[in-house]
A and B are shown apart, each in its own frame.
Chain A
Amino acid sequence: MIRFDHVTKRFPDGTVAVDDLSLEAASGKITVLVGPSGCGKTTSLRMINRMIEPSAGTIWLDDRDTAGFSASDLRRGMGYVIQHAGLFPHRTIVDNVATVPLLLGTSKAQARSRAMELLERVGLDASVAKRYPAQLSGGQQQRVGVARALAADPPVMLMDEPFSAVDPVVRAQLQDEFLRLQHDLGKTIVLVTHDIDEAVKLGDRIAVLRTGGHLAQFAAPTELLTRPADDFVAGFVGRDRGYRALGFEAAGDLDPQREPTVVVGSDRAAAASVALDSWVLVVTEHDEPMGWLAIVPGATGQVEPTLLNRGGTRVSVSGSFRDALDAALSSPSGRGVVIDEDSRLVGTVTAGEVVRRIEAQLGDRRATAQIAAVG
């Protein structure tokens, strides 16, 4: 647990970067600090490992005042990942990762074998170990940065825009892997980003900071999207927040309807005969949905994969309302494809049905909230 207790940072030129910040980053959770530039998010992060000293207030690490540690000891107990990874260009990848264990006095052999494990853990091939950072792509370097931060198995990880410097595809991939890693490791993580979508995706709790270092709201992602504390937060969280909030609502039992299908390679005339309307769902022989076939009267020949419209997204039975609605809206037939954990077809669901269920679920919650408010 990391607790900011009325922390203020005033720089020598008089700028107040962080103003009376109090918040608690829970153990084993990801706490995200998000806000526009100049909101003091990076300053706040750096005060945790005392790369910047607070002007007033206390930062607690569990029940110890961080000011009571030697700065080096404090830092060696906290992993740190930054935007461009900040790898040491003059050391090989394995030696970069082994840095903190070596600083802590671990033997070279042990530190290296630990480093090799971590490289594997972050999805890097052992062959990169002997290379230098300049030989790696941005995404690979960022993985090394994460491995290096984890090397001494610190309970705390501080991450400053860790995924901002890579392209969107790699970013999404790194984010997903990061969440998987965190699921296994359960570190106490404080992550800084300017990207609200990243905050919503990664954060267990999100602190929205406004310019001048004020805490505007500290809440779970859903709450931030559904009940922004003020206009600033509402504006920062952005458009589509009603729709985006659905991403955090498990759709539960969507009660998918049975959908007639044809197996790829069947006769087109046969496909036309089973179709409910002008579209029929084509599946593989293992009942995995492939795409929609438009029924053309009198068409002959086989159902070739090239004939299929693959526009529709799919929703897993464990998916969110957002996924379900998107599947229905993106489907050419208007029927969203629901699949099970093994990618097999369960059935289809229409946008109307999804919305009806959203209404029902949110309606219940509104009623509860009203009772709470009145009570």
Chain B
Amino acid sequence: MSTAGSPLLAGLEQRAQLAAPPGLGRQVLSAPLAGLEQRAQLAAPPGQWDFVGYFRSHTSDVMSLLGQHVWLAVIPVVLGLIIALPVGYVARRFSWTYPPLVSIAGLLYTIPSIALFVLAPGILGTQILDPVNVLFPLTIYTVALLVRVVADGLASVPTDVLQSATAMGYGSFARLIRVELPIAVPVISTGLRVAAVSNVGLVTVATAIGTAQLGQLFSTGLQMSSFRSYYAPIVLGIVLCLLLALVLDGAIVVGTRLLTPWRRVVRPS
């Protein structure tokens, strides 16, 4: 997986150069003013927005980028949740830890993602193109989002429910697993949706460190659009990111509904 980024990236760059009509590029570069006029005339060559056509002609490459993107977006959500659960529990259980933990989590989120992507190899000792360099920052952002959500979700469990669970003889761990977490699912799932969707966007920033994912369509698009007005890869990248975000969001919504049949019941009038 660690070497998957570079050849693909190189391939795309090459293809972008090959795809540009050779004459046009030279003209624009050599005579900028004339080029502007010409560009205005050539402003709408057929297919400049044709992301479907671009997808058809690059299907396997794009699908491979999409596959990478899915993993890079999803794994941090899972890892982040696993880390945020105990931290959020501590923030809830020992109320004095709530303000510092939630503040620290909030601060983590303000670290610019590109900085973390670039620093990750230095911090983790990983190779430059190791996908861990992407997973690590995104996991941090997920934890940053979820600590508060987990703590608030656990706090949403009514006191009398906690009391009766204790009074019936649940130990504190069993109570957490069997009573508190199931009831906190709706609140936690709201946070998960935000984390998943924002990760889909953040993953594209990893283009800066050469990791293969849908963001590469933007850098390809950037190069291609500097030869002529050709935006299909960029539009395709946006569309696929949106679709992926919708699918992940929908999956969490469906999962939540399956886990919480009790929330869909009709209340007595």
Contacts and interface: CB of A to CB of B under 8 A. Distances in A.
Interface of A: 49, 51, 71-76, 78, 80, 82-92, 99-100, 103, 131-132, 134-137, 145, 148, 158
B164 A87 contact: yes
Contacts of B168: 75-76, 80, 99-100, 103, 148
Interface string B134-153: 00000000000000000000
B227 to A, nearest CB: 59
6 contacts: A49-B167, A71-B169, A88-B164, A88-B183, A103-B170, A135-B266
A72 B169 contact: yes
Q: What bracket does the count of chain B residues touching chain A fall in?
A: 20 to 34
A85 B265 CA distance: 19
B183 A83 contact: no
B55 to A, nearest CB: 43
Contacts, number: 75
Interface string B167-186: 11111000000010011000
Contacts of A85: 160, 164
A153 B169 CA distance: 14
A89 to B, nearest CB: 6
A61 to B, nearest CB: 15
B179 A88 contact: yes
A99 B169 CA distance: 10
Contacts of A99: 168
A86 B267 CA distance: 17
Interface of B: 158, 160-161, 163-171, 179, 182-183, 260-262, 265-268
Given A51-B163, A74-B169, A103-B168, 7 more contacts: A71-B169, A72-B169, A78-B167, A83-B160, A84-B160, A135-B267, A136-B268
Contacts of B260: 90
A49 B169 CA distance: 9
B94 to A, nearest CB: 15
A134 B160 contact: no
Given A51-B166, A75-B166, A100-B168, A135 B265 contact: yes
A86 B163 contact: yes
